[in-house]
A and B are shown apart, each in its own frame.
Chain A
Amino acid sequence: DAKTTQPPSMDCAEGRAANLPCNHSTISGNEYVYWYRQIHSQGPQYIIHGLKNNETNEMASLIITEDRKSSTLILPHATLRDTAVYYCIVRVQRTSGSRLTFGEGTQLTVNP
C-alpha cells in the first residue's frame, strides 16, 4: 500500500471548515483513499473513502486531485467533538483482506 504524508497537527476554530491535507504521491491506479479518525480512547471511526472522484457524505467531503497524488478531507462546520486524530490511508482493492496501514495521522484540535 502507498505511503501517505500528513501534517502532525492542525487547529481549527469551531464553526469553520477544517481542511486536512494528505499526500500520497506514489498511489497506484487501483488504490483507494480512506479517511478514519480516532477520538481519544476510542476505536477509529470510518469517515469517507474514494478512488478518483470527489465524494461527500453526512460527515465530510473528500477532494482528490486529478493526478490522485494528494487529497483533502473537509469537515464543513467543525465542532469541538471533531477534535481527534485523522488518518489518511491508501489501500489496494483486494479480493481478500481488510488490512489497513495506519500512519501517524493529523491531530486536529477544534478550538471554541
Chain B
Amino acid sequence: LAKTTQPISMDSYEGQEVNITCSHNNIATNDYITWYQQFPSQGPRFIIQGYKTKVTNEVASLFIPADRKSSTLSLPRVSLSDTAVYYCLVGQAGTALIFGKGTTLSVSS
C-alpha cells in the first residue's frame, strides 16, 4: 500500500484559499487518490477523487502532477464550517481504505 504523508495541522482565515498537499512517493499505477473530510463526532465524508491532472467538484479541486507522487486538495474561500480533519488516501479498487493521521484544518474569523 502506498503510504501518504500530509501536514499534521494548518491554520487559515475565512475567505482564504487553502491548499493541503499529500505526498505518496510510491503510488502504484492502479492507485487512485481520494480525500475525505471528518468533522468532530462524525464519520468521514468523501470529498473528491482523482487519478491524474485536475479534478473539480462543487466542494474542492484536486491537483495531481504528472508523476503522481503528490496531490493537492484545494478548498476555495474557506469558512468556519470547513474546520475539520482532511485525510488523503491512496489505493486500488477492491482493497481496504487505509486512513493516515490526516491534516487538522482550523479556520478562524
Note whether A and B form a binding pair: no
Residues of chain A having any CB pair with chain B under 8 Å: none
